[in-house]
Amino acid sequence: MALAFDEYGRPFIILKEQEQKSRLRGLDAQKANISAGRAVARILRTSLGPKGMDKMLQSPDGDVVITNDGATILEQMDVDNQIAKLMVELSRSQDYEIGDGTTGVVVMAGALLEQAEKLLERGIHPIRVAEGYEVASRIAVDHLERIARKFDFSEANIEPLVQTCMTTLSSKIVNRCKRALAEIAVKAVLAVADLERKDVNLDLIKVEGKVGGKLEDTELIYGIVVDKDMSHPQMPKRIEDAKIAILTCPFEPPKPKTKHKVDIDTVEKFQTLREQEQKYFDDMVQQCKDVGATLVICQWGFDDEANHLLMHRNLPAVRWVGGVELELIAIATGGRIVPRFQELTPEKLGRAGLVREKSFGTTKDRMLYIEQCANSKAVTIFIRGGNKMMIEETKRSLHDALCVARNLIRNNSIVYGGGSAEISCSIAVEAAADRYPGVEQYAIRSFADALDSIPLALAENSGLQPIDTLAAVKSQQVKENNPYCGIDCNDVGTTDMQEQNVFETLIGKQQQILLATQVVKMILKIDDVIAPSEY
Amino acid sequence: MAVERLLKDEATEEKGDRARMASFIGAMAIADLVKTTLGPKGMDKILQSTGRGHNVTVTNDGATILKSLHIDNPAAKVLVDISKVQDDEVGDGTTSVVVLAGELLREAEKLTMAKIHPMTIIAGYRMAAECSRNALLQKAMDNKQDPEKFKSDLMKIAMTTLSSKILSQDKEYFAQLAVDAVMRLKGSTNLEAIQIIKKAGGSLKDSFLDEGFILDKKIGIGQPKRIENAKILVANTAMDTDKVKIYGARVRVDSMARVAQIEGAEKEKMKEKVQKIIGHGINCFVNRQLIYNYPEELFADAGILAIEHADFDGIERLALVTGGEIASTFDNPESVKLGHCKLIEEIMIGEDKLIHFSGVEMGQACTIVLRGASSHMLDEAERSLHDALCVLSQTVNDSRVLLGGGWPEMVMAKEVDELARRTPGKRSHAIEAFSRALQSIPTIIADNAGLDSAELISQLRAEHHKETTNSGIDVISGGVGDMEKLGISESFKVKQAVLLSATEAAEMILRVDEIITCAPRKREDRM
């Protein structure tokens, strides 16, 4: 207890207001933490794999999100427990790093915790467990490296990339048209990829959605789509060979930041001021016109008069374009963002082959398409779908697919999916365990068991007998010395993942194992939880 | 050791079967709610708002009903959402889509009870939806080439749409109205060009379509009430004191005389502006913003008709119709495009004076004036007409047409049944269920009309077993009738959208196996 006594037997207080804090120590703390972590993993377990189910989440404001993306589920879940929050972080970091496998990493961590609990009950010290896990994770990662395959693709041959993206998409609700979406994702990534440096800047891919139509209408646009329309209803809706001035200054009289006053005390002053004002607008429009712009895109608003002048001089304009979109437009059209009218020069204008406005449905929905840009390094994926939730979910799924394609361009090693990599690692770790003297051996063996949990969950979600199936596949791997046997989730009839074309990226898998191990190690090292109790 | 609380207080979590149950029940409750409004003999609902005044709306439009509900069940929200999207996309079929999704879930519930995995059901539903869509595609008729026939198709569709609404008494009249209005659009789907003005009084029959443009505004005092060969300047500019826009400017004077001078200058400025406007050689000036007394007086002196404070839509439409541009500066009169029309006059509808622009350049726009006994009636009439206009404008683009009265559902059901027989495995149960859900739509139509649905549907099914048939439910005579002869048609696009979004929504709800509700955000107590 936190209450101690001095040599005279008087109590003194170590923790302030300790009666108001709840405190857990030692094994109790570890067990509580483990059970919290496992509870989170249990929620996600059913979402794993192509036959995984979705979760419906209602936010504090009553909005509904339906998803099967692990990171999104955990983010929306409003978790209170500290350890559970760690798991949320874990999934998020996988999302940031890799973008895919957010569910798998949490399930993996949950399984590791479950095994750790058993070890703790047998009296093994948590630090020894943590060390054993560390060793085992290194073995697994090395083993993954060995069973990984390089695969070749080029801009002409995108089939392997498409196949990988399809594996990612097959677990989502959009699997109805996974082929089309996978192709879109791959083409989008290739369009912005820098194949020399093996790098992809995903910021250049804009994912925009609009409710209506059907999923099959989703398209890839080599250009930018902005959810805005022309500032004046009578401006032309279609501009060819547009020269675009990209402005971040409003078409309004200047507002100096220093405090000032303009005093009007005579009629003359009043009149000059008025003339000045009119001249302002005239100058602004003239400056745009002088440099040869045929389209003005502005981050700010327009004054009515300026708007009319623009329209009058036949200079179409778009207002209130967001900062991110503005940047994308600048990149795509090769223009420069100009903060002041005075700095407009012909070189700073962006170029686009076609700018057009397109309207949708029966309501007043219009979008602006900027296509055939000078620099086609920015693309937009435009998603259509039956309802808002569907579009949101499609956006998330496509994000995963994009990340996968990017990872493959960075590093073209793949491992086979369907749990085959995990099973193979499990066998390798199991075999290596016996060579370690000391208590760690037990932890390493448990690690191997934990690796089995992913194929188990896959089999379970697919409606197969989990233990039977796993045992069969495992023995097949050992017997045939073929590390590509996995769970046949789609009932195709073969367990060979090479034939089924189910791939995952090597770095994604490695990252999953490493991250999960790290978090578990951290949780195991906690032996005291002090929380201020609620009033 | 008990698992500690994972989620925040008040947050709830439903798992597995319970979660599924909760979403099924929620979705079915919503479907049952709007079910009774389906079909020509469907009933209306009264909606009372909780806001001030407790406004009452009487409607039979699915989207309107669902929009006004406060719903807590997340699955139900999905259905409300699809209905809203249906409204935005095609304008009609908002009830059908919810009912079909509800029926699909009802069937799915039975299947899950029989221990069929939701994923299997989804796979079956997908196959069935694809198959039904193909069936529709085959049966759809396209009369685009034949303008006469196409027009009669449009007429039929309009009548079918209107027959379930409040306007069913005069459906022929309103169908004609809607078709005329849409034909004027010449293929564009921009319904903004069709203006609907509601004026209480008179009967529904007194509603009319006006080829010109009607602005619900009064003409200023002392200004001409009738102008022939009008030249119109449409503007969006401040016609009050026209404040100085340069930031930080203020007037600082030290004597009363100065104030008077400034005021004089201000007046002068306004006068100049008015002079410039008059300099355009116009005889009608329409402004979006207010026109103050002084400029109004100046306009009256110049014999110019000045109309103030038209709403923005009105201005845009007017500019579109008359072919002028919306001006905000007036320095170069020679290059501003003016609008033209043959005649501007003040007309009376009921007790209200309106301004009527006739003989406009662009023939696209038109105005529909609705008359009716009460404002509720008018609101509902507007919604019905809106539905009809939406459907028609969509049909003009995609001219494929289907028969109505439960005919498409029966056609699809037949094909789907056939598919079920060919499909091996558990999926066939789901496919059969899909067909049952499709058949429930004509059942509901018959039930709502107070007919013996079981008898009728079985007759209909027998009828549909023949090779080609046009039979559907004839609600008026209470039997099975030839839909082609009765002239009941529906737009292919609407039916397809209903089918696809209902399946999509059902699929989405079926995939859920866990519902996590966050604690509602704490609201500040404002009392």
Catalytic residues of B: 61, 94-95, 387
Least CB-CB distance to B6: which of A81, A176, A303? A81
Q: List, for chain B, all residue ranges whose pLDDT scores fall below the cut of 70.
A: 1-10, 52, 187-190, 192, 220-221, 240-249, 309-313, 333-334, 361-365, 522-527
Write down the pLDDT at residue B527: 46
What size, in residues, is chain A? Answer: 535
Amino acid type, A145: E
* Sign of the dihedral through C-alpha B286, B290, B295, B300: positive
Write down the pLDDT at residue B245: 63
CA B481/CA B462 separation, integer angstroms: 13
Q: Mind listing the pLDDT tens digit for each residue in A481-492? A: 888 888 887 777
Instruction: Check CB contact under 8 Å for A363 and B78.
Output: no
Instruction: Check CB contact under 8 Å for A79 and B6.
Output: yes
Query: Which candidate in A67, A103, A168, A517 is catalytic?
Result: A103
Q: Mind listing the pLDDT tens digit for each residue in A212-221? A: 777 778 888 8
| Contact call for residues A221 and A394 (beta carbons, < 8 A) | no
| Contact call for residues B66 and B384 (beta carbons, < 8 A) | no
Distances in Å between the Cα of B178 and the Cα atoms of B142, B458, B484 are 20, 36, 21
pTM of the shown model: 0.82
Predicted confidence band at A342 (pLDDT cuts at 50, 70, 90)? Answer: confident
Number of A–B residue contacts, CB under 8 Å: 240
- 């299997």: which residue's tokens? B120
> For residue B441, which of B42, B5, B27, B7 has the smallest C-alpha distance?
B42
- 């306007």: which residue's tokens? B167
Write down the pLDDT at residue B1: 37
- 């929504």: which residue's tokens? B505
Q: Mind listing the pLDDT tens digit for each residue in A31-43? A: 888 888 888 888 8
Q: Looking at the complex, report in whole angstroms how far the Cα of residue A253 sits from the nearest Cα belonging to chain B.
A: 6
> For residue B65, which of B53, B52, B76 has the smallest C-alpha distance?
B76
| Contact call for residues B416 and B434 (beta carbons, < 8 A) | yes
Q: Mind listing the pLDDT tens digit for each residue in A343-392? A: 888 888 888 888 888 877 655 667 888 888 777 678 888 888 767 788 88
Report helix, strand or coil for B523.
coil
Give Dmax over CA atoms of chain A in angstroms: 101
Name the CA dihedral angle for A464, A468, A474, A477, rounded to a multiple of 10 degrees: -70
Residue A298 has pLDDT above 50, yes or no: yes
E strand or H helix that includes residue B197: strand B194-200
* DSSP conformational letter for B192: G
Name the CA dihedral angle for B416, B417, B422, B423, rounded to a multiple of 10 degrees: 70
Instruction: Check CB contact under 8 Å for A233 and B394.
Output: no
CB-CB neighbours of A196 under 10 Å: 6
CA B165/CA B40 separation, integer angstroms: 7
CA A29/CA A26 separation, integer angstroms: 5
Q: Mind listing the pLDDT tens digit for each residue in A62-80? A: 788 888 888 888 888 877 7
CA B128/CA B419 separation, integer angstroms: 8
Residue A535 has pLDDT above 70, yes or no: no
CA A404/CA A400 separation, integer angstroms: 6
Instruction: Check CB contact under 8 Å for B500 and A211.
Output: no
Write down the pLDDT at residue A207: 87
In chain B, which residues have their Cβ closer than 8 Å to the Cβ of A211? 85, 88-89
Instruction: Check CB contact under 8 Å for B507 and A173.
Output: yes
Look up residue A404 and give its two tokens: 């996968």
Which residue(s) pair with A530 in the sheet?
Answer: A23
CA B293/CA A425 separation, integer angstroms: 86
- 């207001």: which residue's tokens? A17
Instruction: Check CB contact under 8 Å for B319 and A385.
Output: no
Which residue(s) pair with A112 in the sheet?
Answer: none
Amino acid type, A442: Y
Instruction: Give the helix ranges, DSSP H, for B342-401.
Output: 375-397
| Contact call for residues A351 and A333 (beta carbons, < 8 A) | yes
Q: What is the mean pLDDT of chain A?
A: 83
Query: Which candidate in A46, A67, A69, A333 is catalytic?
Result: A69
CA A99/CA A109 separation, integer angstroms: 17
Write down the pLDDT at residue A385: 76
Averaged pLDDT, A258-285: 77
CB-CB neighbours of A251 under 10 Å: 26
Least CB-CB distance to A386: which of B75, B82, B126? B82
Contacts of A485 (CB under 8 A, 6+ apart): A420, A423, A473, A476, A477, A495, A496, A497
Q: Looking at the complex, report in whole angstroms how far the Cα of residue B93 sits from the nearest Cα belonging to chain A.
A: 14
Among A160-164, A187-191, B128-132, B165-169, the range with the most confident prediction by mean pLDDT is B128-132
CA A432/CA B395 separation, integer angstroms: 69
- HSE at residue B207, side-chain half, CA atoms within 13 A, is 29
CA A436/CA A322 separation, integer angstroms: 59
Averaged pLDDT, A94-104: 85
Predicted confidence band at A142 (pLDDT cuts at 50, 70, 90)? Answer: very high
Cα-to-chain-centroid distance, residue A490: 26
Q: What percent of chain A is predicted at pLDDT more than 90?
A: 13
> For residue B78, which of B122, B131, B22, B18 has the smallest C-alpha distance?
B22
Instruction: Check CB contact under 8 Å for A58 and B329.
Output: no
Q: Mind listing the pLDDT tens digit for each residue in B240-278? A: 665 666 666 677 777 777 778 877 877 887 888 888 888
CA B195/CA B217 separation, integer angstroms: 14
Least CB-CB distance to A55: which of B269, B316, B512? B512
SS (H, E, C) A520-535: HHHHHCCCEEEEECCC
Residue A191 has pLDDT above 60, yes or no: yes
- Whether A469 is catalytic: no
Q: Mind listing the pLDDT tens digit for each residue in A427-475? A: 999 999 988 888 889 999 999 999 999 999 988 888 788 899 899 999 9
Instruction: Check CB contact under 8 Å for A56 and B325.
Output: no
* Sign of the dihedral through C-alpha A423, A428, A431, A432: negative
In chain A, which residues have their Cβ closer than 8 Å to the Cβ of B4? 32, 35-36, 81
Least CB-CB distance to A270: which of B119, B190, B262? B262
Among A54-58, A169-173, A208-212, B522-526, the range with the most confident prediction by mean pLDDT is A54-58
Averaged pLDDT, A494-510: 84
> For residue B435, which of B462, B460, B415, B406 has the smallest C-alpha distance?
B415
In chain B, which residues have their Cβ closer than 8 Å to the Cβ of A31? 1
